[in-house]
A and B are shown apart, each in its own frame.
Chain A
Amino acid sequence: AQSVAQPEDQVNVAEGNPLTVKCTYSVSGNPYLFWYVQYPNRGLQFLLKYITGDNLVKGSYGFEAEFNKSQTSFHLKKPSALVSDSALYFCAVRDDQAGTALIFGKGTTLSVSS
């Protein structure tokens, strides 16, 4: 069965500094990896995904993520954080075999201070 770990409950960064939100995963086959963001009292919004190809994927709002197969990680990054990036971030994984569910991590709260 697949699983996702987000080791940090909260990440604090100053505006303008780079940010990293960590994610590691476990699957039986090959992973499809996703990042979502949730603002208060809202549903989840898709940010980016890794399916195959380049290990560095770029997504919405200037976010990017790096797939590392040997470390089974898919960390979310942004070169320069904005206060408006403050939100709850979820990493998700699905095994590439048909019929598998999309499984989420527990989420990491990102707080960007001005």
Chain B
Amino acid sequence: NAGVMQNPRHLVRRRGQEARLRCSPMKGHSHVYWYRQLPEEGLKFMVYLQKENIIDESGMPKERFSAEFPKEGPSILRIQQVVRGDSAAYFCASSPQGQENTEAFFGQGTRLTVV
């Protein structure tokens, strides 16, 4: 049973370009979380999704950021018109549906660098 898979592991984008980060949850997991990690800010919650639904997006910036988790395929975190401040490590985690007492399993992260 493969763990949570994130790709790419490293992504370099020029200012103004789009960044697409992918996350394939563990088999059997239907809930996905995205987090952003900055050195001085710790692990900041961004969005919580289940298949075809956004459950909680209270941590998402209002502009340029979007996330989806389609019925088929990985979850995608999209950042449009990237700026230097978007440079960070982005982590995805997954958990089974309806099991709030179960720990979430994390991917290795995508390190985004905006130049």
Contact = CB atoms under 8 A, between A and B. Distances in A.
A96 interface: yes
Contacts of A43: 4, 91, 106-109
A96 B105 contact: no
A96 B101 contact: yes
B55 interface: yes
B45 A32 contact: no
B56 A104 contact: no
Given A98-B100, A101-B33, A44 B106 contact: yes
Nearest to B109: A43
Interface range on chain A: under 10, 10 to 19, 20 to 34, or 35 or more?
20 to 34
Given A44-B106, A102-B93, A51 B33 contact: no
Given A42-B108, A104-B42, A104-B45, A99 B103 contact: no
B69 interface: no
Interface range on chain B: under 10, 10 to 19, 20 to 34, or 35 or more?
20 to 34
B55 A99 contact: yes
Interface string A59-99: 00000000000000000000000000000001000111111
Given A42-B108, A43-B91, A106-B41, A99 B101 contact: no
B93 to A, nearest CB: 7
B11 interface: no
A78 B107 CA distance: 26
B109 A90 contact: no
B41 A102 contact: no
Interface in A34-53: 34, 36, 42-46, 49, 51
A51 B101 contact: yes
B43 interface: yes
B43 A90 contact: yes
A13 interface: no
21 contacts: A32-B101, A36-B106, A42-B109, A43-B109, A44-B91, A44-B106, A46-B104, A90-B43, A95-B100, A97-B100, A98-B98, A99-B56, A100-B56, A101-B59, A102-B33, A102-B45, A102-B104, A104-B44, A106-B43, A107-B42, A107-B43
